[in-house]
Amino acid sequence: MGQEETDNIITKREVVKLRARANLLFALLSQSNQNVERQQAELQRRDEELRRRDEELQRIVNSRSWRVTKPLRALARLLGK
């Protein structure tokens, strides 16, 4: 076996190793992308929940009963309750 054949065998082994490493990195990247997508979906869900709760709070604060009971809430704060 000559030097050129030996070099080719080594090069083929290196190519196989590099392909295996590339496949592993691709799998890790794919997994990371899936994690990011799940986290983005969760963030959107929480943003929607926050928006919905904020709207509900605004409805309560702007309601007639909230305005009518304002003096009672102020008195309760003064009395320390």
pLDDT digits (tens, 9 = 90+) for 4-48: 776 677 788 898 999 999 999 999 999 999 999 999 999 999 999
Tokens describing residue 25: 């990195």
Query: What pTM value is reported for the model?
Result: 0.60
Tell me: pLDDT of 2 over 90: no
SS (H, E, C) the chain: CCHHHHHHHHHHHHHHHHHHHHHHHHHHHHHHHHHHHHHHHHHHHHHHHHHHHHHHHHHHHCCHHHHHCHHHHHHHHHHCC
